[in-house]
Structure 1
Amino acid sequence: MRPTSEPIVVPITEYVVKVASRCNLACDYCYVYEMADQSWRTRPHFPAGETVAATAQRIGEHMRTHGLDTVSVALHGGEPLLAGPERVAGVVTAIRQACPGGSTIDARVQTNGVLLDEPMLTVLRAHGIRVGVSVDGNRAHHDRHRRDHAGQGSWDGTARALRLLRDNPDLYSGLLCVIDLANDPVEVYEALLEFAPPVVDFLLPQASWPAPPPRHGEPAPYADWLTAVFDRWYDAPLRETGVRLFEEIIHLLLGRQSTSDQVGLSPVAYLVVDTDGSFQQADMLKSTAHGQPETGFTVFDHTVDTVLTHPDIRARQAGIASLADECRRCALVRVCGGGNYTHRFGADRGFSHPSVYCPDLARLIEHVAGRVRSDLAVRLAR
């Protein structure tokens, strides 16, 4: 972590609220259950009523302090739908009641989809809660990693949920897909398109310098995978869906700000609240070391502004000042932003490394820039 000359405070506008600390699946790449941090074992299965009330109070308090009229609340787990429709709806209701009158709470739930059915969707609709689903392509792609505790694939349940959301597009927030180099990239993308997602988020596998991703050391295999998807997406005669990573890179190339922590230098403006009421940093940090996401603060004893004093959170709000020297010298830094914070971790310098995916990010950004530059040149020449 590179120290900053003065505190930078960016209000929190997104909260990841854990409504379950257990999961009905046992995905082999899960950073919550399968990697370095095992704190889930001691967390309550579900948040108690007083935890929900205190969480809601802290969110409302922070909105009033900073004059915020909109925040996002993502209900996570584990598998959040294990909490049941009443508990899920109750969390969102409590937060809305604690927030300033006239404010907007953009609520969504991120699920594996297996427990999503018509009755659950009816409750979610009644409370204005949109749904995102994690899915890795077609049956073969998906079931390679996303299995239940008995070792059975989860594709049937997930596909059922996706068909339900396809028929209810107003509640459909999008898809998360973890990249697996064993899968054909265009085949994965087109399998996802069958469910008409409004947006797709492709995620690089959780990795760091001590635990590098598969095929690390090859020139740029993840860039090859992603550029194949980019060309298929970009060359489509009509827009089929949004792809968040590609759109973020294009926005950054055009001088705009990022809204994702995968790329760009925008300050991180989200916090996690676990089922015990502890404030935490990004869940993905669980992949690096036990206890890494912890802040030592809780909703019972600390305001959100107090959490913002944590040195790691200050570092993540410091933009270019917190990056490795190699990154700060790079011509692509304002687009790449050092990549995902977790992917910078090394045993010697903590998070002050370039991303373990540095060559992939560079090649992907250069490819996207080349395509966009070429199109702009043609349009300007007309």
Structure 2
Amino acid sequence: MTAPAAVPFRHLLLKVHSRCNLACRYCYVYEHVDQSWRDRPKVMAHEVIDVAARRFAEHAVTWDLPRVAVTFHGGEPLLAGPDVLEYAIGAMRDAMPAGVAVRFTVQTNGILLTEPILDLFRRHQVRVGVSLDGGRQANDRERRFANGRGSYHQVAAGLAALRAEKYRHLYGGLLCTVDVRNDPVEVYEDLLAFAPPRIDLLLPHGNWTQPPPARIPGDPRTPYADWLIPIFDRWYDAPRRETDIRLFSAIMSLLLGGPSDTESVGLTPIDFVIVETDGAIEQGDALKTAAEGEAATGCNVLDHRFDDILGLPGIRARQTGLAGLGATCRACPLVQVCGGGHYAHRYEATSGFTNPSVYCADLQRLIRHIHGRMSEDLHRLTADTSTGTNS
């Protein structure tokens, strides 16, 4: 069988700052086995920004890409300051040839969302995603400052600024890390209070060797599915769609034979790459929870092209669909929807990434529940159509 062709990188995550003003206890960058952040510059230098921009432009031309995306990331990217962010935006735009559109986003903890930074984002149409884990009690369990003080009120103030009329169109949504100690529907309602256009529910990064909280490898219980399903039902049963929840929308799309826009489920090839503050080209940050150096590629934008890493085993495993999965996943009837789960969640110290997700039982239960709800509605609509009933 011929291996699928490589997929170009359409999305660049630019780590403009490598430190953070929070000390979230679940953080996959600072609190797990890979501590490479300690040896990196705090802020990305202009030289590295310029070279990264040229490399990404070169990649876009090589692959004839009509549009690309750049996300400013960290650490906390707003710590880099408005001058660095504006320089990076200009460098990316100047490097791209005519005909290649660039879309900018930033993922932030929201604490530094002030009017001056929002004015910069409005000038350059930068979409803003904010991390928030629910209301004050839920958020402040883990999302704290180094002195133990909670961050909720500062994030809420940042969101209030972002939601002001002149900036509201920049609001991309909220990212919430699941904590099964919190009431799920209460978390959802608290997030809805900020009127997000989209919510990302992120399963805590972990694996078979370093399991996530409340997930005992091999245990048939499904604490994360049990937490997610009440939110799905609340969201699905709402009389009008209050927001998009990316995990649920992706599963529904996959069940109907469509694509996924998240690496958490499905077999859609990954198309993003990361550049660290020192110019190192890396794979997804979640791999930092597996083992020291798992996210590393050995390449740097100062010396290498993005094409140079397309053949790496970790990249190929996430671009080759079924061929990149272990035997257990390939034989599973849900594989087209689950896709083996997030690549980092498959890791085990002796067998690597050829395992099902550490969340396998949770994903199976969640997918089957969503399938059941959709099937009920489709059967009801079919019955209504056949009898001429309007509902």
- The secondary structure found in structure 1 opposite 2:182 is coil
Of structures 1 and 2, the one scoring higher in RCO (CA 8 A, sep 6+) is 1
Query: TM-score normalized by structure 1?
Result: 0.97
**2:212 corresponding residue in structure 1:** 213
Residue 103 of structure 1, CA deviation = 2.1
In structure 2, how many angstroms separate the alpha carbons of the residues matched to 1:14 and 1:94? 16
Please tell me the root mean square deviation across aligned C-alpha atoms, in Å.
1.1
Residue 214 of structure 1, CA deviation = 2.2
**1:237 corresponding residue in structure 2:** 239
In structure 1, how many angstroms separate the alpha carbons of the residues matched to 2:30 and 2:259? 33
Task: Decide which moves more: 190-199 or 101-110.
Answer: 101-110
**2:257 corresponding residue in structure 1:** 255
**1:17 corresponding residue in structure 2:** 14
Residue 218 of structure 1, CA deviation = 5.4
Q: Which amino acid aligns with 2:354?
A: S
Q: Which amino acid aligns with 2:151?
A: S
Residue 185 of structure 1 pairs with residue 187 of structure 2: no
**1:264 corresponding residue in structure 2:** 266
Residue 96 of structure 1 pairs with residue 120 of structure 2: no
In structure 2, how many angstroms separate the alpha carbons of the residues matched to 1:274 and 1:233? 37
- The secondary structure found in structure 2 opposite 1:125 is helix
- The secondary structure found in structure 1 opposite 2:106 is strand
**Poorly superposed stretches of 4+, deviation over 6 Å:** none
- The secondary structure found in structure 1 opposite 2:140 is helix
In structure 2, how many angstroms separate the alpha carbons of the residues matched to 1:317 and 1:281? 13
Task: Decide which moves more: 73-82 or 303-312.
Answer: 303-312
Residue 172 of structure 1 pairs with residue 174 of structure 2: no
**1:366 corresponding residue in structure 2:** 368
**1:29 corresponding residue in structure 2:** 26
**1:304 corresponding residue in structure 2:** 306
Does the Cα contact within 8 Å between 2:220 and 2:361 map onto a contact in 1? no
1:1-44 C-alpha deviation (Å, 9 max, x unpaired):
xxx95463101111111000000000000010000000000001
Matched pairs, number = 379
1:62-89 C-alpha deviation (Å, 9 max, x unpaired):
1111110111111100000000111112
**1:281 corresponding residue in structure 2:** 283
Residue 152 of structure 1, CA deviation = 0.8
In structure 2, how many angstroms separate the alpha carbons of the residues matched to 1:338 and 1:279? 25
Does the Cα contact within 8 Å between 1:263 and 1:340 map onto a contact in 2? yes
In structure 2, how many angstroms separate the alpha carbons of the residues matched to 1:108 and 1:21? 17
Residue 204 of structure 1 pairs with residue 206 of structure 2: no
1:256-302 C-alpha deviation (Å, 9 max, x unpaired):
11121000001111100000001100001011111110001111111
Does the Cα contact within 8 Å between 1:13 and 1:72 map onto a contact in 2? yes
**1:161 corresponding residue in structure 2:** 158
In structure 2, how many angstroms separate the alpha carbons of the residues matched to 1:8 and 1:44? 35
1:67 to 64, 67, 74: 64
Q: For 1:105-116, what aligned pairs fall within 5 Å after superposition?
A: 105-116=102-113
Does the Cα contact within 8 Å between 1:263 and 1:339 map onto a contact in 2? yes
In structure 2, how many angstroms separate the alpha carbons of the residues matched to 1:78 and 1:162? 19
Residue 225 of structure 1 pairs with residue 212 of structure 2: no
Residue 105 of structure 1, CA deviation = 1.1
Q: Percent identity?
A: 52
In structure 1, how many angstroms separate the alpha carbons of the residues matched to 2:4 and 2:350? 25
**1:87 corresponding residue in structure 2:** 84
- The secondary structure found in structure 1 opposite 2:201 is strand
Q: Which amino acid aligns with 2:76?
A: E
Task: Decide which moves more: 319-328 or 353-362.
Answer: 319-328
Residue 311 of structure 1, CA deviation = 2.0
In structure 1, how many angstroms separate the alpha carbons of the residues matched to 2:75 and 2:142? 16
| Runs of 5+ unmatched residues, structure 1 | none
Does the Cα contact within 8 Å between 2:129 and 2:172 map onto a contact in 1? yes
Q: Which amino acid aligns with 1:140?
A: Q
Q: Which amino acid aligns with 2:98?
A: G
Q: Which amino acid aligns with 1:211?
A: Q
Residue 58 of structure 1, CA deviation = 0.7
In structure 1, how many angstroms separate the alpha carbons of the residues matched to 2:289 and 2:227? 23
1:106-160 C-alpha deviation (Å, 9 max, x unpaired):
1011000111111110111111111100000000001110111111111111001
Does the Cα contact within 8 Å between 2:59 and 2:307 map onto a contact in 1? yes
- The secondary structure found in structure 1 opposite 2:274 is strand
**1:56 corresponding residue in structure 2:** 53
Residue 339 of structure 1 pairs with residue 338 of structure 2: no
Residue 39 of structure 1 pairs with residue 41 of structure 2: no
Q: Which amino acid aligns with 1:224?
A: D
Q: Which amino acid aligns with 1:203?
A: L
- The secondary structure found in structure 2 opposite 1:212 is coil
In structure 2, how many angstroms separate the alpha carbons of the residues matched to 1:338 and 1:7? 18
- The secondary structure found in structure 2 opposite 1:229 is helix
Query: TM-score normalized by structure 2?
Result: 0.95
In structure 2, how many angstroms separate the alpha carbons of the residues matched to 1:176 and 1:271? 20
Q: For 1:348-359, what aligned pairs fall within 5 Å after superposition?
A: 348-359=350-361
Residue 57 of structure 1, CA deviation = 0.2
Q: Which amino acid aligns with 1:270?
A: F
